[in-house]
Each structure stands twice: as structure tokens, then as C-alpha cells.
Amino acid sequence: MTAQHPVGVGIIGAGNISDQYLTSLTSFPDLRVVVVGDLDTARAETQARKYGVAQWGTAADVLAHPDTEIVVNLTVPAVHAEVSSAILTAGRHVWSEKPLAVDRAEARALLDQAAETGLRVGVAPDTILGPGLQTALRAVARGDIGIPLSAQTVMQYAGPDQWHPNPEFLFAKGAGPLFDMGPYYLTALVCLFGSVSRVAALGSTARTVRTIRSGERAGTEFTVAVPTHVSALTQFEGGGVGQSVFSFDSPLTRTGFVEITGTEGTLVLPDPNTFAGEVRITRVPQGGRDAEWESVPLVGVEGGRGLGVLDMARAVRGGHPHIASGELGYHVLDTMLAIDDAVTSGETVHLTSTAPAIPLVPEDRDPRATTL
Ligand SMILES: NC(=O)c1ccc[n+]([C@@H]2O[C@H](COP(=O)([O-])OP(=O)(O)OC[C@H]3O[C@@H](n4cnc5c(N)ncnc54)[C@H](O)[C@@H]3O)[C@@H](O)[C@H]2O)c1
């Protein structure tokens, strides 16, 4: 394969999220999806046929395919590290859905394996590459809100047992609202404020048994193994504090709330689980009046889930770092594990990992352009 060809991509895990990935990845001319694999090979076949991918089979079939340079891991969190490690062993770069792993030891081992083999690890969320967060990063860097001081985020709803056909993994180790949705909110905060240095948190579990509400298994009960409501405080190394709610226990849906307050203004971001949306700012102290809002024009081109795979593919060919990196994913995982530890112990937990600086995506970068 020469550098003039699109980068070959394989996918392991043909479940719920694979539609979004396959829609995007098959629309980017710099990538070519060549094979889809799953434990359930019928599911892999269905998804491959639906998106015009020529081959399908098991995970081993994906790893054996000669034309893959990157393998995308869309399995469930409990096996993320095991599957990603097998991908590296097969000599392919890994893009993994979040979280990178379920504990620090397996996450670190994975990054060490990548470093030893000269291969790359990229980790979701790649929403940080979208125009929404990129516009907010530029606004903060320009000083639009002065010096950032604090952040508030809210993600609360009734939980994925309402809509996911196989939701058990979302209430098991490696998920719950903190590990499932935390990556979007905490990665956004890390991009905006830098590394987290310490956390405090409280949590609770409203119900230890839940019922699947959609799909063929609707009515099936399962056990909840994690806190389903977490309130976390985060302190950032370079200054600034955050407060975040992650909850699957609220009949009231309030998601995508991210607000950053600085010395000169407050910036409201779009949902960090999306790629665009509205960025707005208020700088006039409100007093008793309604807030006066200005829209911040979005910069960048929308791409959808899979943008991180594309960024990594272009970085592989260009020989430069990719943005949604394994080290960033490690720091966010470390932050979530620290929050989880704080829930259990009731103590403040200090972090030792740090996140790399996050470069801005060039404004004119077009995911649908042919560049390779
Ligand atoms: N569903 C969403 O809306 C969504 C959104 C963003 C991210 N994610 C993330 O994507 C990942 C997958 O989520 P999902 O909702 O698609 O889950 P899912 O349960 O619908 O699909 C997971 C698929 O992986 C397969 N699988 C599991 N272990 C495997 C193995 N060892 N080898 C090969 N295949 C294996 C399963 O058979 C299944 O088809 C999770 O990490 C989740 O956090 C999901």
C-alpha cells in the first residue's frame, strides 16, 4: 500500500453505535472500511452489507485482513483493553470507544504496548474535534471570557435502560453515568482547563435492579453494579474548579449542559456528546435583568462520530501527533477512577497523571476532502 491510498480500516463490534461510525467512516475519502467483525458474525454481516463493506466475520478475521492499518474497537468497556491489545499485537493502530479500559493498570499496559511497538492508540470522544468545542476553545484562548474560573456540567436523565436494547453493560463496571457519559464532559473540561489535579465526589444508586424498556428483550430485569448518580468536584492544575452531575436517576432530562465562567463572561457550550450546536456568551453582569447573549460563530467543518479515526489516519500518514490520543484518554479515565474512588472513600483524591496540551484543529480541515 502506498501513501496515496486511503487508510484501510477494520471495525470490531457491530452493535448499537456501529451505525454512526459506519455512516461517517464510509463517507470520508481518506478512509476505506474493508472489514467488520463481531462475536455475532450475523450482526457483522448485516452491518457490512448495509454500508457496502466487502468483508465481515469475527474479530480474528478483522485482525487477519491484510488491508487494515487502523482497527476501530466498538466492543463493550469490559473487553476494550483486551480487544485493543489484540489489535496492537496484530500490528494495527487502535481507535477505541471510551473508556480506554476499566482500570489504570490495563490502560497503562495498553499505552506501554503501543509505545513499544510504535503503534498509536486513539480514544473517544472525538466530539472534541468538532466545531462546537473547537469554537469554544478558540473563544477561551482569545480571552473572550477573561481568565476561566469555573465550570458547571449537567448530564441527567432516566438512563439508557430506556432506549438501549442491551443496556446491561451500561450499568456494569466501566460504565454507569460517570464512565459512560463522563468522558464527553470531562474531556471537554480538560481541553478547556488542562489537567485535573484533584477531585471530590458523592454518589448513590437509586435502584439495584432495572428493566430493559426497548428492543426484543424489553421486560428483562438486570442488576445494577455501579452508582447511578454522581456529583463530582474537579480542581484543575492550572487553576479553575468544576462541578459536574452525572445521573441515570432523573425523570427530568437535562443533558449537554456545559457552562464556563471567567473573570469577564460566561460561555455556554453545546452538548459535548455532539459535534456542533450553538456556542454563546454573556459578558454583561445580569443584575435583575435577562442575560444578554451573543452567539459565537462556529468554526470548522462537521464530521460526525469517527472524526478521531480520520484525524489519526491523517496523522499516521503525516507523521504528526493525533489529537484524541491515548494519553488524553488515560488522564480522563484516571479522573473518572479518582471520582469513583472519592465516591467510595468519601476522601479527596489527588491525581498524578496529566493530559497533553490539546492542539486546535485547523479551521479549514474538511473531513470529506481527499488529502491522502
Ligand atoms: N450506543 C451508543 O449510543 C454509544 C454512543 C457512544 C459510544 N458508545 C460506546 O461504544 C461501545 C459499544 O457500545 P454499543 O452501544 O454499540 O454496544 P452494543 O452492546 O450494542 O455492541 C457491542 C458489540 O460488540 C460485540 N462484542 C463484544 N465483545 C466482543 C469481542 N470480544 N469481540 C468481538 N465483538 C465483541 C458485541 O457482540 C456487540 O455486537 C461502548 O464502549 C459504548 O460506550 C456507544
User: How distant, in Å, are the alpha carbons of 31, 94, 127 from that of 27?
Assistant: 8, 20, 17
Q: Tell me: do 151 and 258 sit in the same domain.
A: yes
> Residue 148 above 60 pLDDT?
yes
CA distance 358 to 158: 33
Average the pLDDT over 25-31 and give the result: 98
> Residue 4 above 70 pLDDT?
no
Give the percent of the chain with pLDDT over 70.
99
- Give every CB contact of residue 11 below 8 A, 6+ residues apart in sequence: 18, 21, 22, 25, 33, 35, 36, 37, 47, 62, 71, 72, 74
Confidence of residue 351 (pLDDT cuts 50, 70, 90): very high
Give the percent of the chain with pLDDT over 90.
95
Query: What is the dihedral angle through the alpha carbons of 172, 174, 178, 181, rounded to the nearest 10 degrees?
Result: -100
Largest CA distance in the chain: 65
Q: Tell me: do 28 and 121 sit in the same domain.
A: yes
Evaluate whether residue 30 is within a structural domain: yes
> Side chain identity at 234, as an amino acid letter?
T
DSSP string of 25-44, one letter each residue: HTT-TTEEEEEEE-SSHHHH
The residue among 250, 279, 296 that closes a domain is 296
Q: Tell me: do 309 and 212 sit in the same domain.
A: no
In this predicted structure, what is the pLDDT of residue 37? 98
Q: Tell me: do 148 and 288 sit in the same domain.
A: yes
Q: Tell me: do 42 and 99 sit in the same domain.
A: yes
> Residue 122 above 50 pLDDT?
yes
Whether 273 is in the pocket of ligand 1, judged by its Cβ within 6 Å, is no
Domain limits for position 98 = 7-127+305-325
Q: Tell me: do 23 and 150 sit in the same domain.
A: no
Evaluate whether residue 265 is within a structural domain: yes
- Give the atom of ligand 1 at the shortest distance from the alpha carbon of 98: 41
In this predicted structure, what is the pLDDT of residue 291? 82
Evaluate whether residue 26 is within a structural domain: yes
> Residue 115 above 60 pLDDT?
yes
How far away, in angstroms, is 26 Cα from ligand 1 center? 19
Which CATH number does the domain housing residue 119 bear?
3.40.50.720
Q: Tell me: do 102 and 135 sit in the same domain.
A: no
How far away, in angstroms, is 235 Cα from ligand 1 center? 32
In this predicted structure, what is the pLDDT of residue 33? 98
Q: Tell me: do 56 and 91 sit in the same domain.
A: yes
Q: Tell me: do 144 and 257 sit in the same domain.
A: yes
Confidence of residue 232 (pLDDT cuts 50, 70, 90): very high
In this predicted structure, what is the pLDDT of residue 2? 43
Evaluate whether residue 241 is within a structural domain: yes
Average the pLDDT over 252-261 and give the result: 98
Give the number of domains in the chain. Answer: 2
Q: Are 281 and 139 in contact (CB under 8 A)?
A: yes
How far away, in angstroms, is 224 Cα from ligand 1 center? 18
**SS3 (DSSP) at 103:** coil
In this predicted structure, what is the pLDDT of residue 312? 98
How far away, in angstroms, is 178 Cα from ligand 1 center? 17
Evaluate whether residue 366 is within a structural domain: no
Confidence of residue 94 (pLDDT cuts 50, 70, 90): very high
DSSP string of 160-184, one letter each residue: GGGT-SSGGGGGSTT-HHHHHHHHH
Whether 85 is in the pocket of ligand 1, judged by its Cβ within 6 Å, is no
- Give the atom of ligand 1 at the shortest distance from the alpha carbon of 18: 16
Confidence of residue 1 (pLDDT cuts 50, 70, 90): very low
Q: Tell me: do 158 and 261 sit in the same domain.
A: yes
Whether 78 is in the pocket of ligand 1, judged by its Cβ within 6 Å, is no
- pTM higher than 0.95: yes
- Give the atom of ligand 1 at the shortest distance from the alpha carbon of 99: 41
> Residue 286 above 90 pLDDT?
no
Evaluate whether residue 230 is within a structural domain: yes
Q: Tell me: do 161 and 100 sit in the same domain.
A: no
Evaluate whether residue 342 is within a structural domain: no
Average the pLDDT over 43-63 and give the result: 98
Average the pLDDT over 282-290 and give the result: 80
> Residue 304 above 50 pLDDT?
yes
How far away, in angstroms, is 363 Cα from ligand 1 center? 32
Which CATH number does the domain housing residue 138 bear?
3.30.360.10
Q: Tell me: do 12 and 47 sit in the same domain.
A: yes
Evaluate whether residue 60 is within a structural domain: yes
Calculate the average pLDDT of the chain.
96
